[in-house]
């Protein structure tokens, strides 16, 4: 199967993509990981992407699309893919449709994990990190034993700038526009499946699996 996970930051796409891809035997492709792998490998497109990222710029569509097409052409993508963080624009979605159509493996479903903004704010602003060992905590989901202090090395926890409330709100606003555009694009193509992203992760996984199984049965 060829699947896309869609959702705002904090919706749990990365967590669910990992679980689902392992369960279904799909290649999980995250654009962030893809950029890092290509840059480390020194590919031409990877170097171009690194140039933009090092200047704090968005990687142009043509570079991102080129990197993805290179990645899905590799043998480990043959059993199917689960995309997390791609596409981000309509041109990227259109290019993906063309590329997968040429391979005879079009997108089967786009799973849109929907979570109320108030919940997203709580999830994203509650993250704290140990600058010493890198352990990530959450004030509600996985708090440290002592507030503000790492369980492992007693280092004072810090919060990333992009996890602070004003920054999180700005991120959500910026991501909402392109996410809703993509949702409309895939809804018009009869590919979109809305998934309730609230509650415990296992319950969300079950809802995602049910949607995937219904698509598989219909196909």
Indicate which residue of 71, 127, 191, 207 is catalytic. 127
d(CA 131, CA 160): 10
Q: Within a domain: residue 167? A: yes
Query: Please, what is the Cα angle at 10 between 7 and 15, to 5 degrees?
Result: 85
Look at residue 145 in the predicted model and tell me its pLDDT. Answer: 95
Q: Within a domain: residue 35? A: no
Q: Beginning with the edge strand found earlier in the chain, give each strand of the sheet holding 109-114 in spatial order.
A: 27-30, 81-84, 2-6, 109-114, 192-196
Q: Within a domain: residue 200? A: yes
d(CA 29, CA 61): 17
Look at residue 41 in the predicted model and tell me its pLDDT. Answer: 80
Q: Within a domain: residue 37? A: no
In the chain, how many domains are there? 1
Indicate which residue of 88, 123, 191, 207 is catalytic. 88
**Which pTM was predicted?**
0.83
C-alpha separations of 119 from 94, 123, 173, 196, 211 in Å: 31, 6, 14, 12, 23
Q: Is 88 a catalytic residue?
A: yes
d(CA 17, CA 27): 10
Q: Is 13 a catalytic residue?
A: yes
- What's the CATH code of the domain at 125? 3.40.50.300
Look at residue 191 in the predicted model and tell me its pLDDT. Answer: 96
| Burial category of 140 from C-beta neighbours within 10 Å (exposed 0-12, middle 13-18, buried 19 and up) | exposed
Number of Cα atoms under 13 Å in the Cβ half of residue 53: 15
Q: Within a domain: residue 60? A: no
| The two structure tokens encoding residue 121 | 């704010």
Q: Within a domain: residue 188? A: yes
Q: Is 160 a catalytic residue?
A: yes
Range of the domain at 176: 2-26+79-218
Full pLDDT tens readout for the chain, 219 residues: 999 999 998 899 988 998 999 999 999 998 878 887 877 888 888 888 888 777 777 788 888 888 888 888 889 988 899 999 889 889 999 989 998 888 888 999 999 999 999 999 988 899 899 999 989 899 888 999 999 999 999 999 998 887 888 888 998 998 999 999 999 999 999 999 999 999 999 999 999 999 999 998 886
Q: Within a domain: residue 214? A: yes
Look at residue 197 in the predicted model and tell me its pLDDT. Answer: 96
Q: Within a domain: residue 15? A: yes
C-alpha separations of 116 from 7, 9, 138, 149, 198 in Å: 11, 11, 18, 30, 8
Indicate which residue of 18, 36, 169, 171 is catalytic. 171
d(CA 156, CA 209): 39
By C-alpha distance, which of 4, 45, 49, 56 is closest to 27?
A: 4
Look at residue 156 in the predicted model and tell me its pLDDT. Answer: 95
Q: Is 171 a catalytic residue?
A: yes
Report the C-alpha dihedral over residues 97, 87, 110, 96, rounded to 10 degrees.
Answer: 10
Look at residue 32 in the predicted model and tell me its pLDDT. Answer: 77
């Amino acid at each position: 199967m060829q699947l896309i996970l869609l959702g705002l930051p904090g919706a749990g796409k990365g967590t669910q993509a990992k679980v689902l891809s392992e369960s279904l035997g799909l290649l999980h492709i995250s654009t962030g990981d893809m950029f890092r792998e290509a840059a480390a490998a020194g590919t031409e497109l990877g170097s171009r992407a690194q140039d933009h990222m090092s200047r704090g710029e968005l990687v142009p569509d043509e570079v991102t699309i080129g990197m993805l097409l290179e990645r899905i052409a590799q043998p480990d993508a043959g059993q199917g893919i689960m995309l997390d963080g791609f596409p981000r624009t309509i041109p990227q979605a259109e290019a993906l449709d063309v590329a997968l159509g040429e391979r005879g493996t079009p997108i089967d479903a786009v799973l849109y994990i929907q979570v109320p903004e108030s919940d997203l704010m709580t999830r994203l602003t509650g993250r704290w990190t140990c600058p010493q060992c890198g352990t990530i905590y959450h004030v509600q989901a996985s708090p440290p034993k002592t507030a503000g202090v790492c369980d492992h090395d007693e280092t004072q926890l810090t919060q990333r700038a992009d996890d602070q409330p004003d920054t999180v709100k700005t991120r959500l606003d910026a991501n909402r526009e392109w996410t809703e555009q993509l949702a409309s694009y895939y809804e018009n193509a009869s590919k979109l499946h809305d998934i309730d992203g609230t509650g415990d992760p296992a319950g969300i996984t079950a809802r995602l699996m049910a949607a995937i199984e219904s698509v598989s049965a219909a196909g």
